[in-house]
Structure 1
C-alpha cells in the first residue's frame, strides 16, 4: 500500500471514530510503528489530524465542535495529570465539592483518595464511575438529567434545578476553551447552563484547564475570567495568557515535566 493510500485509511478512521492509536494502525496496515508515525506527522502538518501521545485525534475547529470523551481523554495526558494533582491539594477533609464533566475533572477524581469525609457532587458519569471504582465510602451525589453530552455529562432542567438548591465549598470546573472577552467557554449549550449553575453553587470556583485551551472559543460562555477564583493550568501557558489572566484571577501552573519523568522511570 502506498503512503498516500495508508494516510487516506488513517484519515477515514479518524473521521469515523475521532481518534486512532499507533499500535492498532500497525496491526491493521501491516507496517512498522515508525511508518505509521511518519504518516501521522504528514497528516498533522496538513492540519488534518492532531497528534497526541500514542496516536492522533480529529482537529478542533468550529465553536460548536465537541470531541467525545474518548477523543479528549488521550490529549495532553501529562498536563492533565499535573493539573489534577495540584487541584486535589485544594480539597480539604469534611468539605462538599463539585466536579463538572470533563477529562481533567475525571483525572482529578483519581487523586482524592487521601481526602477523608468528602461529599462529591457531579453530573459526570465518568467522574462518578472513577470514584466508585476507587472504593470511596463517603458520599457521591450524581445529578441526573435528560441529556447525556459527548463529554458524558448529564444535563437538563432536573440537574440544573438540583444545583440551584446546593451550596458547595469548592467547585472544580472543566472547560473547552478560554480566551479574552469570551471567558471560559463550552461548545455545548445545555452543558453551559449546568456549568453556570455549578459556578453559582460554589463558595470558591476553580477552573482546571490545560494550556491547549487558550485561544479556543466555544459557542457559549460559562463564566467570565472575573467570576473565577483560581485557574490551574500548566507551564505551557503562553506569557501573554498569563498576563491577561493574572489581571482577573489567581493563577497556578502545574509542572508536567515531573509527571513525564515519573512515567519514564
Structure 2
C-alpha cells in the first residue's frame, strides 16, 4: 500500500494543537509517534508554536498554553482566511435552523459572518448584529432587515460591544442567538477576553429564545479571561467532525444538542 504524503509544517502544527487540546500535555516521544516524524522535527514544531504563544514547553514534552486563552490577536482580514472549510460547514448547518419571519442575532466573528450567504431567499427575516462586516455582507441581501447594535467600537475585530450595545438588545426579542467565541471547553465553558464582550453576549442570551454556539474544534480546550456561560446553559453547539467523539458525547449528556459538520 502506498503511504500517505507527509504533512507540511502548518498541517503538523494544526494536528499537534488538536492533540494537545484533547490531552492537555504530551511527551515529545508521544508526538513523534502521533505525527510520524523525527524528534528534531517535533522540537522545531514546538519551538514555532511556543514562539507564537500557543504552547509551553515542559520537561520532556509540551502543554497547551491555556493561560492565554487563544492565539495571538490578528487583524480581521487575516482571521477571515483561516479554517475556511470548517467555518463554511458550520455556517451551513447553522442556517438550517433559520426560518422565514425570524429575528436572529449574528455575533461578531468570521464564523458568524459565514452564515450570511446561506440566508438568501428567506422572507421577512431580520438580522441583528454587532459586526460591521456582517452588516456590509448583508448589503447584498436587500430583502433582509438589518439592525446594528451600536456600542463601543473594537477596530481589530470590526465589531462593537459594551453597555450601549447591550441596551439595544434589551428592546429586541430574538428567536436565535448565534454565538461566536475564540475559546470554549467543557470545564470552563465559553469565555471572552473583555467584560464588554461578555456583557453583550449575556444580553443576547437574555432576550433569545435559544442560543447556539458556533465554534470549530481548533478552539476547543482553550479559555480566555472572563467566562460568558457554562456549556449546559447553551441550547445547541455546532462544531466540526474533528471534535473528538467523546467530547461530543459528554456535551450531549449535559442536555445540549450537539451537531458536527462534516469536513
**TM superposition score normalised by structure 2:** 0.73
1:123-202 matches, cutoff 5 A: 123-132=130-139, 134-148=140-154, 150-202=156-208
Note if contact 2:162-2:196 (Cα within 8 Å) is conserved in structure 1: yes
Note the aligned Cα RMSD (angstroms): 2.3
From the superposition, tell whether residues 126 and 59 of structure 1 become closer, same or farther in structure 2 (CA, over 3 Å).
farther
1:60-85 superposed Cα distances (whole Å, 9 cap, x missing partner): 45137543322321221111110001
Note if contact 2:189-2:229 (Cα within 8 Å) is conserved in structure 1: yes
Segment of structure 1 superposing worse, 62-71 or 238-247 = 62-71
- Cα distance, 1:131 vs structure 2: 0.8
Task: For 2:197 and 2:148, locate their aligned partners in 1 and report how far apart those are by CA, in whole Å.
Answer: 15
User: 1:24 — aligned with what?
Assistant: none
- The answer to whether residue 125 in structure 2 is matched with residue 118 in structure 1 is yes
Task: For 2:75 and 2:201, locate their aligned partners in 1 and report how far apart those are by CA, in whole Å.
Answer: 18
- Cα distance, 1:44 vs structure 2: 7.2
Task: For 2:239 and 2:69, locate their aligned partners in 1 and report how far apart those are by CA, in whole Å.
Answer: 21
Task: For 1:231 and 1:149, locate their aligned partners in 2 and report how far apart those are by CA, in whole Å.
Answer: 28
Aligned residue pair count: 209
Of the three residues 108, 115, 137, the one matched with 1:101 is 108
DSSP-derived class of the 1:190 partner: helix
Structure 2: gaps spanning 5 or more residues: 1-40, 55-64
**TM superposition score normalised by structure 1:** 0.72
- The answer to whether residue 252 in structure 2 is matched with residue 246 in structure 1 is yes
DSSP-derived class of the 1:111 partner: helix
- Cα distance, 1:149 vs structure 2: 5.2
Task: For 2:112 and 2:149, locate their aligned partners in 1 and report how far apart those are by CA, in whole Å.
Answer: 15
